[in-house]
Amino acid sequence: MFSPQPQTGDALLNPAARRRGRPSRPTSRVQLRHERSNSGMSVDSTREESSIGASQRQDSEGPTNASGDQSIIRRSAVAVSGKEQEGGTTDLTKNDKYRVSKLPGLPSIFSSCSKNGTPVTAYADSNHRYALLLSHSAAYVWEYAVPHILPLTFSFPLPREGSSEQSPFPLGSLVCPSANSPEPGLVVVMPMTGRIAYWDAVSSAVSEGLFAKKRGVEGKVPTMSGETITSICCAEPAGFVISTSSGRLAHLALRDTAGRPGVTVIIMRGSSGFGGLLGALRAGSNRRDIVAVRPGKVLRMGEREVFVGTARGNFSRWHVNRAGGYANTTDVDLRDEILNAFSGQRALQGKNKDNFQVVDLQVTGYSASTESGQEDTVQFLVLTAISSPNSKAIYALVSLELMAGGTASVGDIHIIKSYTDGWGTETPPRLYFPYPRKTAFVVFPRAVVVVSKIRRDPSEMDYDDQQQQESFEDVVDFRGELGIEIVGSGSESVDTDIVSAEAMGSFSSDQGHIKRIKNPGVILIAKGAGILRVEAFDFGAGVKTVTAPVTVKSKLEQAVFYGTKSDNPLNFHGRLEVKFALEDLEEAALEISQEILGSKSPYLPSMLPSLGSHLELRSQHLRALVQHLRTGAFGRVSKQVLWRLLQDAERCEAARSVWDMRNEHLREDPENGDGVLGAVISHYVPTEDTDVTGNDPVRTWFQRDVVHIGTLLRHVKKSLASMPDKGKKNQLMLAVSDSEANDIIIGALERAWQFRVDCAKLYDLSGEHGIDKNGLLEKSNGYLAPWTSDALLLEALSNQRDLSEAAIKALWGPTEDPKRQDVVTKLGLQLVHLAEICCRSFEERADWCEQQTAAGDDIPQEGRNVRERYINSRGRWIKPLVKYGLIEHAYGIAEDYQDYRTLVEICSEELLKTEVSLIESTSAQQNSEAVNELKEKKAEVGKRLEGYFERFGEPFAIEMYEYLVENGKLQTLLNGFESWREQYLTPFLRGNSKYAKLSWIHDVSLGDYSIAANTLFNIATKSEGVLLNQRIELSIGKLAKLAALENASASEIDVAEEIEACDIKLEIVKIQQRLHSAVKHITHNAIDVDAAVQLATDEYARKFKKLPALRDLFRTSFRQLVSGRALATEDLVELLTLMEPSEGELMNGELFYWALRVIGLAGLPRTEIEIAEKTIWRRCFLRDDWTQIVSTRNRTDEDVTDLARKTSVYTTILLCYQNGLFTQGSPFKPRSPEETLFSEDPGEIRIRFPEADERLLEALAIDLYDENRRLRRHITRAELQNWFTGMLAQIKEEVAARTVEAENGDADVEMDV
C-alpha cells in the first residue's frame, strides 16, 4: 500500500537492501541543518506547490504507479548556497496578560495555500516544535520555531480520497522521536479508507518515499460501510487512539513488542458486556457524536489514561497501553447536570437547551481518591456551546470533576462574553489549557479567546464566586477584510522536568536542543497571517497572574502601539460583544495620552539615541490614539476629551520645535551649549524624575516633563533678568540672549497652534464653533482652558515682547557692526511674531473665560478683564512695527485680529505723514517724481482704507468715524468716504445721541429735513445745556421741519400742528432769556459767576436767610441762569417764584404769571403740574405783606383798592385772565390761599426733587413748612381768604369791562372804516 519509489535489481530481491539504515544522530541541530544543506535537499519552494494541485493520484488497495521524479522532497540541481536568511519574532500585540507574536518561519507552500484558497488543515506539536500541514493530496512538516524565514519543509504526497473539496482531510500526528533521532516521526490516517502510514523520522522518509508499496510501517483501520475516521489522539507512550464517525474507538500502536516499527489497530469495545462486532456497535452508539479524545496522565510504563467526550455531554474514561490493552473504567452522562448548572446563569436563561452541545475538553488535574484502591478524581475543563438560528452561539467554560464509580459534579462556569460567532461548517473551536493551567485559550476559526481565573476544582470556589466576580477575558481576532482563517493550532505548556518527562516517556533520549518554553500559550497556523503564538504571562519568578477583567485602557494601548502598522493582521477595533463604559474609555484615553507625553508608557522605549526621534515617536502614538478613538470602536468620546487629547499632542509638538531649535543653535555655536534653554531648565524648571540621560538635565526634561512645556515658556524671561543691560556690549549680549529666548517661545507656540489648525478635523473640532484659522476654539464652554493662553503665560508673553522692544530700541540706529545689524533684523522679525502671539493668546484666554458661564462669575469676569487689557494693549504691540520698517506685518496682524482701531491709526498717521511730506516737497519745489510718489502713497493708503470698508464693513467704519470725531476731523467725517456715507455714516451718527449735533448736518446734506428737524428738537430738549444753543437748534429745527413740510406739500393746519411743539419750546427759552435780560445788570457788575450769584442772593433772596434749603435752591438755579445754561422747567419755575427784588419790580411784576405760563407750556405730568402750581400761588400770596394791606385805618377806599391792585396776586390773576390762561377748558384757575398750602407729604417733596438725598429732602421740607406757617398766619390775621374772594370778583369785573371796551373799540374802528 505505502512504498518508496520503484526500485530494480538486487534491491528488489534483497530485503536487507530495502531496509534503510538508521542515520547517526548529529551532534547539534546546526550540524543537522548543515548536513541537510550539503545533501542537496532544498527548502520548500514554489515548485513544491504542484504537490498539492498536481498530485491528484487516485489511490487503490494495490501499488501505485508513482514515477521516479515525483519524490517527496524535490532536489535542486544546485545546492542552496550561503547563509540562511534569519529573522526575529514580531510582536503583534501585548498587554499585562498576554502577547501575540508572529513567528518568522513560514513555508512557501502554506503561503501559496493562503493565496489560492487551497483547503488545508494543520496541527502544531509544541513538544517537538514541529508543525504538520495536511491537504487532500499532501502532508508537510517543518519546525515552526526556527528563526528562518523559509524553514526546511518535508513534503509527503498523499493518495487523494474523494473528488470534492468538502471531503474530510487526512488525519495525522507527529510521533515522538525514535532512539538516536532528534526528529519526530509521522503517522497519517486516511479518513475514508482507514489506511495508515507511519514513518519514525520525517527526514529519513524523504529518501524512501511514502505511499508506494506495502511495507511493515503501514496498516489499516477496519471500518464499516460509510464510516470515516474523525480524529487521532496521541496518547504516547501508550500509542494513539482513533475515533470514527460511528462513535467507535480504536487503539493504534506503531511498534511491536520488540520495539520494531509496525502498525497495529485494535478496536476498543466498551464495558457493555457484549463482545465482538455487536459490542463495538453498542459501545459506539453511546458515543456517535464524539467531539474530543484527550489524553490524561501516564499511569505507568507504556500505559496512559484517555478521556472521550461527546456533543451530548457523555464522558468516558479509558486506560490504554502500548500493547493494545484497554479498559473503559467510567462512562457517565453529564448533560442534565451541566444544563441544571446553566439555569443559574443570566446569560443562558431563555436559551433553547436542545441546541446545547459539548465542543471540546481538556484534562486539568487530578486529586487522590478518598477510597483506597479507587481511581484518582479527575478534573476537566469543558467548552460548551448553545447555538442560535442566527449563526451565533453562547459559549461557556465548565469545570467538571469525575470521580471513581461514575459520579461527577459541575464546578465553575464561565460564560464567554467576548465572542459569539458560530462555526458552521468550519473547524470546531478548540480548547487549550496549557501548564501551569492558569489561563485557558479557546481557538475559533477566526479568533482566540483568552480566559483566566478558571477554577479547575469545584472545591476551589469561595466567597468571591458567590459574588460573581468577573474573570479576565479578552478576544484576539483578525481584520475582517483579510479573510484570515485559523486552520490549525496547538498548545505550548511551560517546560518543567515533570512535563518534559511525561511528554517524552520512554521514547525520548536527549532533547536538550529544544528551547524551553517560558510562557504557556497556543500556536496558531492561520491562512493569511502565518504562524502566530499567543502566550500568557503566567509563569516565572515575580509574575502575578492577571485575573481582573480586561480594561478599556489595555485595549486602547494595544490599538495605539500595535494597531498602526498596516501589515498587522489583528483587529484592534473591538467586537460588538465587548462593551465599555464611556467614562472609562475617556479616562483611559487621557491617562494613555499623559503616559505617552511623559514617556511613562511601558510600551515606549525609555530612550533612543535621538531624542528628536523619541519625540516624533510620541507624537505618532498620540496621533494613533485619537485616530483610533475617532473610529468609535469602543464608543464616541466627547469633544471635551478630544480637546484635552489635542492639548497633549500640542505640547509634544511644541517640545519638538524647541528641541529642533536647540539642535540648530548647537550646530551654529557649539561652545554656547544649551544657552537660555539650559539655564531655564536648570534653575527654574527642575525635572520631576531623576536624570535618565547621563547628567544632562535638558535631555531629561524633554524625556519626562514635556507636559510642563507651558511652565518652561513662562520662565524663559527669568533667565535674562540677571544679565547686565548697561553698555553697548552688554546690550548686544542681552539682545542675543533675548533673541534665543524668543526662538523658544515663538517656535513652541506657533508650532502648537499650527498643529491645532492642521489637526482640527482629526480631533473632530473643525467646522462651525470649532477651531478657526488662528487655532482658537470658537465655542469653548465646558472645555479645559487652553494651555497656550494660561493666565501666567499671558503675563510672561507681554513682558517678553516689551523686553524685545526695549532691546531693539537700544540697538536701533545706523551701525557698521554686521552682528549687531543681524541681531536687530532678527529681533524686528521676532517682534512681529511676538505681537501676533500676544494678540492670539490674549484673545484666546478672553474668549475661553467669557464662555465659562456655568463656573460662576469669577472666570467670566477674568475674561472681561483680559479682553479690556487686550484691547488697550494690542495697538501698543502692533504699532511699533511701523517704526522698524515692518508696516506690512503690522497691517497683517491688525487685519487678522480685526484690530480696526490700530488699522485706522496706522493709516491715518501714514496719511498725515504723507500729507506733511507732500506739502514740504511742494514748498521746496522738489522734482515731480518725488511728489508723484508721495501722491501715489497717499492714494494707496486711501485705497487701503476703502478696502477695509469693503472687507470689514460696519465695525471698521464705526472705528474710523470715532477716530475722526475724537481727533476733530469732522470735515473728513462728513465729506470723506463718500461711497460708504449712507451705508455706514448715517446709522453711525443716528445710532448714538452723542453724535446728534453732527447727525443733523449729515441729514440735511442728504435732504432728510424731517429727520434733521427731529434730531435738532431732541438735542435742544434733552441734551443741550447752553440756552443760546438750544434756541438756535430749535430755530434751525423749525426751519428744517418747515422745509420738510414744504417738500411734502403739507396744509397750513398740518404745518401748525407739526411746528407747535417747537414753538412751545422756543417760548420757554424766550421766557428764560427775558429773565436773563432782567438780571443782566448783576452780571455786568460781577467779576465772575460766583460774584454774580452772591449779588443776586443779596438782592433777590434776602428773605431766605433763615431758609437755607430754598436759598441754596435759588443760588443753584441762578448760577445756571447767569452761566447761560438751559434751566429745567421746574428749576425755572423755582427761580421765577423765589426772586424778590429789594426795590422796584422785576419783569414788571409778572414773574408768577410767567411761571404759570412755563408749566402750562412744558407739558409736565399732571401730578408735577399740581405741585408746581401750588408752589407758584403760595409764593405769590407770600410776596406781599397782607397785614399792612388790609389795615384800612385812615385810608380811603381808593387807597385800599390801589394797594390791592399792586399786589402780586392781583397782577398775576389779571394777567392770566387777560392772556387767556383761565379760559374755559384750561387746566389753570385762580387758587385760593388754602388751596396753595404745601401738603406736608414727604412723597410730594420726593416727586419734585427725585434725585435729592434724605438730608436735602428734610431741609426742603422744613423750609416749605415755614411757607405754610407764614401763609396760614396771613389767612388767619389778614382774613386773606376773604380778601382773595373780593379781589377775584373785582378782577373779573375789570376784565369784563376791558373786554366790552375792547369790543366797542373794534366796532368803532369798523364803523370808521
What are the cell numbers at 127? 513538544
Element (H or E) spanning 173, and its range? strand 171-175
Q: Quick one: how far is CA 44 from the chain centroid?
A: 53
pLDDT at 816: 82
Cis omega (within 30 of 0) for bond into 436 = yes
Residue closest to 147 by CA, chosen among 192, 102, 179, 94: 102
Quickly list DSSP for 64-112.
----TT--SS-B-SS---SPPPB---EEEEE-SSEEEEE-S---HHHHH
Residue found under cell 537700544:
810
pLDDT digits (tens, 9 = 90+) for 41-53: 333 433 333 333 3
Q: What is the number of residues in the chain?
A: 1313
* 190 CB-near residues (< 8 Å, 6+ apart): 59, 158, 159, 161, 170, 171, 196, 229
| 1002 three-class SS | helix
Amino acid at 507: F
Residue closest to 890 by CA, chosen among 827, 835, 936: 835
Quickly list DSSP for 937-973.
HHHHHHHHHHHHHHHH-HHHHHHHHHHHHHTT-HHHH
pLDDT at 208: 52
Residue closest to 1076 by CA, chosen among 1034, 1030, 1027: 1027
pLDDT at 353: 83
pLDDT at 342: 87
Q: What is the DSSP letter of 227?
A: -
Phi, psi of 612 (to 5 degrees): -60, -40
Residue closest to 105 by CA, chosen among 140, 78, 134: 140
Angle CA 751–753–758, to nearest 5: 90
CA dist 302 and 208 (Å) reads 29
Contacts within 8 Å (CB) and 24+ apart, 1222-1230:
1226/1160, 1227/1160, 1227/1169, 1228/1156, 1228/1160, 1228/1173, 1230/1284, 1230/1288
Q: Quick one: how far is CA 1250 from the chain centroid?
A: 56
pLDDT at 82: 34
- Per the CB < 8 A criterion, the answer to whether 587 and 608 are in contact is no
pLDDT at 405: 78
pLDDT at 1308: 53
CA dist 919 and 552 (Å) reads 77
Residue closest to 55 by CA, chosen among 183, 174, 209, 221: 209
Q: At what angle do helices 858-878 and 791-811 cross, to 10 degrees?
A: 10
Residue closest to 615 by CA, chosen among 593, 598, 627, 635: 598
Q: Do the bridges between strand 90-94 and strand 98-102 make them parallel or antiparallel, or are there none, so unpaired?
A: antiparallel
pLDDT at 287: 64
pLDDT at 442: 96
State the sign of the Cα–Cα–Cα–Cα dihedral 58, 59, 60, 65: positive
Phi, psi of 563 (to 5 degrees): -85, 5
> 1297 exposed, middle or buried (CB, 10 Å; 0-12, 13-18, 19+)?
exposed
Tell me which residues of the chain have a pLDDT lower than 50. 1-87, 209-216, 272-279, 281-282, 456, 461-468, 498-513, 1309-1313
pLDDT at 455: 59
Angle CA 946–948–953, to nearest 5: 105
* 179 CB-near residues (< 8 Å, 6+ apart): 507, 509
Element (H or E) spanning 1043, and its range? helix 1027-1047
- Per the CB < 8 A criterion, the answer to whether 89 and 515 are in contact is no
Cα of first residue to Cα of last residue in the chain, in angstroms, is 165
pLDDT at 271: 52
CA dist 572 and 555 (Å) reads 8
Contacts within 8 Å (CB) and 24+ apart, 573-576:
573/628, 573/631, 573/633, 574/633, 574/634, 575/418, 575/419, 575/475, 575/477
CA dist 1076 and 1065 (Å) reads 17
* 582 CB-near residues (< 8 Å, 6+ apart): 635, 636, 637
How many other CB atoms are found less than 10 A from the CB of residue 1261? 17
- Per the CB < 8 A criterion, the answer to whether 741 and 801 are in contact is no
pLDDT digits (tens, 9 = 90+) for 52-86: 333 333 333 333 333 323 233 333 333 333 333 33
**Cα atoms in the 13 Å half-sphere on the side-chain side of 357:** 16
